[in-house]
Amino acid sequence: MKSIVVKDLAKRYSNGTEAVKGISFELEKGEIFGMVGPNGAGKTTTIKMITTLTTITSGDAFVSGIDVKKHPEKVRRIIGMVPQDLSVDDDLHGFENLVLSGKLYGMDTKLAVKKANMLLDFFDLTEFKDKDVGSYSGGMKKRLDLASGLMHEPEVLFLDEPTLGLDTQTRSKIWDYVKRLNKELNMTILVTTHYLEEADMLCNRIAIVDFGKIVALDKPSALKEGIGNSVMMVKVKNDLEKTKKLIENIDGVGEITMYKEDLKVTLKRMEVAPAILETMYSNKITLERLSIKEPSLDDVFIHYTGAALRDREEKTDSMAMRRTMRRMRQ
Amino acid sequence: MKTAFFALLVREMKKWYRTPVFFIVSMAQPIIWVVLFGSAFDITRLFGNLPPQAIAAIMNTEFMGAKNYISFLSGGIMTVTILFASMVSGMSLIWDRRFGYLAKLMVSPIRRETVFMTKVFSSIIKGIVQASIIFVVVIIMPSGLILGSGFGIVDLLTIYFVLFLCALIFSSLFVMIAVRTTKWETAMGIANFLNLPLMFASTALFPSSAMPGWLKFIAVRNPISYAANTLRILTIKGSLSGALINTVMLNIAYLSAYAVIALVAGFIISYFTLTDTSYS
Ligand SMILES: Nc1ncnc2c1ncn2[C@@H]1O[C@H](COP(=O)(O)OP(=O)(O)O)[C@@H](O)[C@H]1O
Ligand SMILES: [Mg+2]
């Protein structure tokens, strides 16, 4: 059975904002699925609809086959959700936060204590378990929040911007935990982020969301291949013009231009790269330097939305960041 | 979901006693009230030159037979303490929303009404603890509350039942406000707008005979008055006669009616409001 099925999901807020305009996707069990897009794209709203936190304006959502609209309380039992903003209680200890979370799911004290200790261990928080969460760093709070969302062993985990506002080191650590969860427990994970590199590394499949719609959805590699055009930079000892002519005739090679002392060769497919090297070798052309740049998700993003994510973000991102930082200091 | 209810109740209690400043202030404030109100407004001083019999007569007709103003005031201050305690803790729901904890509650399978009920009951406990402190202080302070002769365990239990009902009414009211408002400032505004009229348009501090007609009309219907008057009867009068017992019963009936209305309204409002967290 599919872990998540979303069909034509749409959300119009009471103030008239159409945050999500018909989104459809399906998640297999054990998949890590990423939603990528600039602030305001509708990622959080989509997660909120699937996790019963806000009403669905139109369309349908199913989690492990359960209709979100018809049985929200059943869906709540089997999902874990770590919202964009921290949701731990600063006045309680880390351990107490986890035990309380377990009890919200009807666990008895003994079981909750056992699970809490396991998760504190998993997230390297055991040392701080009896300290006020108020004294935790931002990264520690985020880890505790993750742990808290896992107390009841959810079938499907939702992570909304789990690394927003964290430093690079903490970010990669968070991703390590997420990968382990996915591997060791075969947990289905839906994650949103606007760090493209992270989505690229972590996710089995990615949906690029822009203005409330999915503009592309595939494996990261397929997305990148889909827009084609890797670029090969070559510098040779021999005659550049001659080299250019030789390469030009190879099938699958696109435009060739000069870039400083290098030839900039556009490849329509990755597979032409070996052919180019072979040609040069058999024609006794000596390579001085060579590099191949695959299209990045950034390029993919630009391809589908007509703007770099960074540019789109500039205004809103600093605001969200400031909000998160403020929150973390509390 | 009893587990969740009690776990959340324990959370509220921990948050309360672990914030020492807040805890001490919430304990000290009512005591300051008694001392300030009791000495600043000792109305009986106004009768300075009157012969003792005349004073006794006035105290009998206007102040329910209290031996001094503190005796009259005690029931009122206990009630008002409940009102303010309910306000502070009821509205802590707004902080839970602001600091994200509400999101955790909302995504969990607990019933939406459980969120409401834990706030109401924790605020009842806090209010009753504070009112109890007042009760002890007014009894032990010099020239404080003089309990009527024959004051017994039944009176004490009845006092606590009245405090409970009163706390139930006001906690429900303020939690309802907190459920509906996302901004602390807005909620505070509404609370202040309600609190002062509730307190002064009641017989908590002064007898209704001193009020103009329109105020009296409101005051006698104010749940604070029902609670304050009942507490007064129970503390001042000692062993109660048949007529007073009837008054107490009737007041409790009124308070219960208010409590049921507040509770049902709170349930309904939480049920519908907490199903959609369109907070951002
Ligand atoms: N509670 C709300 N009421 C009205 N509009 C909202 C609300 N929450 C979000 N929005 C709007 O919906 C759009 C999508 O927001 P969101 O889902 O938070 O995007 P993302 O998570 O991708 O940054 C934005 O334009 C945002 O301003
Ligand atoms: Mg978001």
Q: What CATH number corresponds to the domain at position A19?
A: 3.40.50.300
A64 three-state secondary structure:
coil
Phi-psi region of B36 (alpha: psi -120 to 50; beta: other; left: phi over 0): alpha
Q: Clarify whether residues A144 and A59 are in a common domain.
A: yes
> Searching chain A, which residue's CA lies closest to the CA of residue B111?
A73
Question: What does each of the 280 residues of chain B score in pLDDT, given as a tens digit?
Answer: 688 999 999 999 999 888 878 778 877 877 887 787 777 666 666 777 777 777 777 777 777 777 788 888 889 989 999 998 899 888 889 999 989 999 999 999 999 999 999 999 999 999 999 999 889 988 888 878 888 888 889 999 999 999 999 999 999 999 999 998 888 888 889 988 888 888 888 888 888 887 888 988 888 899 999 999 999 999 988 777 888 889 999 999 999 999 999 999 999 998 888 877 654 3
Measure CA of the first residue to CA of the last residue in chain A; give whole Å.
42
Q: How far apart are CA A19 and CA A213, in angstroms?
A: 9
B67 touches chain A (CB under 8 A): no
pLDDT at A316: 53
Of the two residues A27 and B241, the one the predictor is more confident about is A27
pLDDT at B280: 33
Helices (H) and strands (E) in chain A, counts: 12, 14
Domain tally, chain A: 2
Q: Clarify whether residues A151 and A265 are in a common domain.
A: no
pLDDT at A324: 57
The percentage of chain A sitting over the pLDDT mark of 90, rounded to a whole number, equals 59
Q: Clarify whether residues A19 and A135 are in a common domain.
A: yes
- Which residues of chain A make contact with B15, given a CB cutoff of 8 A? 89, 91-92
Q: Clarify whether residues A167 and A246 are in a common domain.
A: no
Mean pLDDT of chain A: 89
Residue at A330 is within a domain: no
Structural domain range at position A256 = 228-294
Q: Domains of chain B: which residue ranges?
A: 2-273
Ligand 2 centre distance from Cα of residue A114 (Å): 33
Of the residues A160, A194, A223, the one at which a domain ends:
A223
Out of A51, A52, A106, the one facing B3 most closely (by C-beta) is: A106
Q: How far apart are CA A50 and CA A323, in angstroms?
A: 25
Residue at A321 is within a domain: no
pLDDT interval class at A44 (50, 70, 90): very high
Query: How distant is the alpha carbon of residue A135 from its chain centre?
Result: 29
Residue at A82 is within a domain: yes
pLDDT at A329: 52
Ligand 1 centre distance from Cα of residue A119 (Å): 32
Task: List all residues 6 or more positions away from A49 whose beta carbon is below 8 Å from its beta carbon.
Answer: A9, A11, A20, A55, A56, A61, A68
pLDDT at A140: 95
Identity of the residue numbered B69: Y
pLDDT at A330: 47
A87 contacts B101? CB cut-off 8 A: yes
Which residues line the pocket of ligand 1, CB cutoff 6 A? A 13, 15, 17, 19, 37, 39-45; B 278, 280
pLDDT at A326: 57
pLDDT at B152: 86
Atom of ligand 1 nearest to the CA of A45: 17
Q: Clarify whether residues A51 and A126 are in a common domain.
A: yes
In this prediction the ipTM stands at 0.86
Question: pLDDT (tens digit, 9 = 90+) per residue, A149-187?
Answer: 999 999 999 999 999 888 888 888 899 999 999 999 999
Q: Clarify whether residues A96 and A212 are in a common domain.
A: yes
pLDDT over threshold 80, residue A80: yes
pLDDT interval class at A317 (50, 70, 90): low
Q: Clarify whether residues A61 and A162 are in a common domain.
A: yes
- Which residues of chain A make contact with B1, given a CB cutoff of 8 A? 106
- Which residues of chain A make contact with B118, given a CB cutoff of 8 A? none
Residue at A318 is within a domain: no
Q: What CATH number corresponds to the domain at position A263?
A: 3.30.70.920
Of the residues A223, A251, A266, the one at which a domain ends:
A223
Q: Clarify whether residues A200 and A235 are in a common domain.
A: no
- Distance between A330 CA and the closest CA of chain B, angstroms: 9
Q: Clarify whether residues A22 and A118 are in a common domain.
A: yes
Q: How far apart are CA A141 and CA A147, in angstroms?
A: 10
Q: Clarify whether residues A152 and A64 are in a common domain.
A: yes
Q: Clarify whether residues A246 and A267 are in a common domain.
A: yes
pLDDT over threshold 60, residue A315: no
Q: Clarify whether residues A122 and A206 are in a common domain.
A: yes
Residue at A307 is within a domain: no
Q: Which two tokens stand for residue A90?
A: 């600063």
Ligand 1 centre distance from Cα of residue A128 (Å): 35
Residue at A309 is within a domain: no
A11 touches chain B (CB under 8 A): no
pLDDT at B238: 77
pLDDT at A270: 78
pLDDT interval class at A138 (50, 70, 90): very high
